[in-house]
Structure 1
Amino acid sequence: MNALRGYSAQQVRDAEAPHLAAGEPLMARAAAALAAVCEELLTDQGLRLAHSRVLMLIGGGNNGGDALFAAAHLAKARVTVELVRTSSRVHEEGLAAALAAGSAMITDAPAKLAARAKSADLIVDGILGTGTSPDPRLRGDARELVAAIAPMVEERSGSPAVVAVDIPSGIHPDTGAVPDPAAVLHADVTVTFGGAKAGLLLEPARGFVGELRVHEIGLAADLEKLTPLVVIPGASSTE
């Protein structure tokens, strides 16, 4: 019987460590998987990539880096990609790649960004990942922006679709806690890497995850040696 296993953020980091030490391109693999999902969702809407627009919300962690390198993939495929920094610190190599490929940096106020998000074909949430603090709620400019976009996401019919990178920003990766639901975007698809994070399988976070897609980036054998925090018999994810 299939079972969906959910691991702690620390377990996933422990599984990644030897691969990162060996110089394996885990971020590149994650970014390629994310870009492929974005392209699929755009074409499923009947859009040509060259006629579509993606708004990417970029945080300062590794999932922000995943999003930036995915932005480079999409821009090379002639998608119009707009980047919104939600942190003063971002993955500089990923940012350089995204800009060099033709992505554009947008610096409007939150209200204008919310309007821009409404007219996008796809929104990518790459703000916070599994390296968050015990209280995962968004703060400052990031919270203001997401709180402005969230009502539009709730009311929409059709596009824009929302893709969460690794986890929807604002949920706890281990417990599934959602301390500030007004500032969390409901994802249509959550693309997570290596193994499912336990919090993605637990309420109330599960209600924000949408379709869960777990993409293997080389960690399967390492995670199989660990005892997951959550096991859901008879369930599976899309890979």
Structure 2
Amino acid sequence: MINGYTADQVRAAEAPLLDAGEPLTARAAHGLAEELRTVLADRAEGLEGEAPDVWKILLLVGSGDNGGDALFAAAELAGTTGPDDVPIDLVVARTGDHAHEAGYAAAVEAGVRFLMNSPAEPDDTADEAKGAAIVVDAVFGIGASRNPTLRGAPKAIVEAVLPVVQNSGGPTVVAVDVPSGIDPDEGSVPEGAVLPAEVTVTFGAVKAGLLIPPGSAYAGDVRLIDIGLGPQLADVTPFTTLDQADA
């Protein structure tokens, strides 16, 4: 069985670990970076002909902790190579007026490239997506559980990128924790501006909304990163469960 937990259950499990100084963000970011490498390897296996000159990863980054996880992961990958020793090019499109402060500082120091405007221009972001191997959706995480609807600049950016990822051979969409725009608890999709993920990298526990339709249809292959919440969740009744045979 796959257990699905609510945002509040996950926050409650994280709280004592954060109070104790456990590096949950670092664990999440490292796990995300490793999964992005795996996705690049999968892309390389499916290539026909020569490898590209660079493996571009475009990150759509919101202002919360979800965006911070993506920025720290980008910092870890910056300056490294992917399959066939091809350099990895990290490009960040901010979807709000600001970004996670520590994550932003780490990414800048590592040499990650940022689109000029904040929030990024939708057309510029779509142009970057056209040459990308991966688009990382780190706009909203479980912090948006009170109202996951994409509005304003985040919605415009997602709507601009959506046709690019829907093209045959387009970039692989990797969602961070949950696809932005779905309710992480109930799986509802209040608006249609959601990037359908091929992979969702979720942290600590599978979020219930990743298992419940229609949100489950946007999640793709859900990959759980262990950040140490197991003991905290051992006696917690999950919000939902899914038989692995049905996953």
Distance in 2 separating the partners of 1:165 and 1:150:
17
Letter in 2 for 1:80: D
Report the aligned-residue RMSD. 1.7
Shift of 1:236: 8.8
- Corresponding position of 2:180: 169
* SS of equivalent to 1:33: helix
**Which of the numbers 22, 25, 29 marks the counterpart of 2:23?**
25
Report the CA distance shift for 1:234/1:44 in structure 2 as closer, same or farther (over 3 A). closer
Shift of 1:133: 4.6
**Which of the numbers 132, 145, 152 marks the counterpart of 2:157?**
145
Letter in 1 for 2:208: A
Report the CA distance shift for 1:185/1:132 in structure 2 as closer, same or farther (over 3 A). same
Aligned length: 233
Q: Is the 8 A contact 2:64 2:99 kept in 1?
A: yes
Matched ranges for 1:1-239 at <5 A: 3-46=1-44, 51-78=54-81, 79-107=88-116, 109-154=121-166, 156-181=167-192, 183-235=193-245
- Which runs of no fewer than 5 residues in structure 1 stay unpaired? none
Report the CA distance shift for 1:198/1:77 in structure 2 as closer, same or farther (over 3 A). same
Shift of 1:139: 1.1
Shift of 1:102: 1.2
Render the CA deviation track for 1:53-107: whole Å, top value 9, x for unaligned.
Answer: 1100110111101000000011131411001111123211111111111101113
Shift of 1:50: 7.6
Report the CA distance shift for 1:99/1:198 in structure 2 as closer, same or farther (over 3 A). same
Q: Is the 8 A contact 1:59 1:86 kept in 2?
A: yes
Identity %: 48
Distance in 2 separating the partners of 1:228 and 1:49:
44
- Which runs of no fewer than 5 residues in structure 2 stay unpaired? 82-87
Shift of 1:109: 2.2
Distance in 2 separating the partners of 1:117 and 1:226:
40
The TM-score normalised by the length of structure 1 is 0.92
Distance in 2 separating the partners of 1:178 and 1:133:
11
Letter in 1 for 2:211: L
Letter in 2 for 1:128: F
